[in-house]
Amino acid sequence: MTTPDKNTIAAVGNRVTLHYIGTLDNGAIFDSRDSDDPLTFVVGDGTLFPALEQEICTMHCGQTRNILIPANKAYGPRSNDNLLKIERSQFPPDKIPEPGKLLTITFSDGEQRIMRIMGCDDSSVTLDANHPLAGCDLTFALTLVAIDH
């Protein structure tokens, strides 16, 4: 990998390598990548949120920056439209729905979605298809380690 001089700024089409720690407003870490497991991708390939890629395209190789991505530019707001209530009888008899548990649901068109069980009673189960980070502002302590043209 080529590491250009410190004056080189990342651009769309560059292959970049990052180290980062992603945190929520309460300080909880939701993801991290370090020298043992860096993130390498081509800027503009859709790997990251466009808002985060735009910030990376203002950084020099070797630069570290804290970047805040608001919820509406990350996973979007939480939406009640992504809650689904189904009959408990639709669960296989050997599957016991437990609040907090993740399920992979396959729809009739073949699309699969991961959903979290929000609650259940004797007759129904409420599933949440919102991304776990929907509605959250995300902060990245990010270092642009390398740029390869």
Question: Which residues contact residue 90 at a Cβ distance below 8 angstroms, ignoring those fewer than 6 apart?
Answer: 125
Same domain, 47 and 84: no
Q: How far apart are CA 45 and CA 22, in angstroms?
A: 20
62-121 pLDDT tens trace: 999 999 999 999 999 999 999 999 999 888 788 888 999 998 888 889 888 889 999 999
**For the CA atoms of 29, 43, 34, 65, what is the dihedral angle to 10 degrees?**
-70
In a domain, residue 9? The reply is no
Residue 108's pLDDT is 85
Helix (H) or strand (E) holding 52: helix 50-56
Q: What is the pLDDT of residue 50?
A: 96
Check whether residue 32 and residue 68 sit in a common domain: yes
Please indicate, yes or no, if residue 97 is contained in any of the structural domains: yes
In a shared domain, residues 55 and 122: no
Nearest to 141 by CA among 67, 34, 75, 70: 67
Identify whether residues 137 and 71 lie together within a single domain.
yes
Q: Mean of the per-residue pLDDT values for the chain? A: 92
Mean pLDDT along residues 22-36:
96
Return the pLDDT at 4: 52
Question: What CATH number does the domain containing 108 carry?
Answer: 2.40.10.330
Residue 1 lies in a domain: no
In which element (H, E) is residue 145 found? Answer: strand 138-148
Decide if pLDDT at 11 tops 90: yes
Average pLDDT over residues 39-46: 96
- What is the pLDDT averaged over residues 27-47? 96
Q: Is the pLDDT of residue 12 over 70?
A: yes
pLDDT of residue 5: 61
101 and 124, same domain (yes or no): yes
- What pLDDT shows up at residue 33? 97
Range of the domain at 52: 15-75+133-148
Residues 28 and 70 both lie in one domain: yes
Residue 2's φ and ψ, nearest 5 degrees, are -90, 130
pTM value?
0.80
How many domains does the chain divide into? 2
Q: Note the pLDDT of residue 35.
A: 94
For residues 134-148, average pLDDT: 96
Looking at the structure, do residues 67 and 86 belong to the same domain, yes or no?
no
Distance, CA of 138 to CA of 130 (rounded, Å)? 16
CATH number at residue 33: 3.10.50.40
C-alpha distance across the termini of the chain, in Å: 9
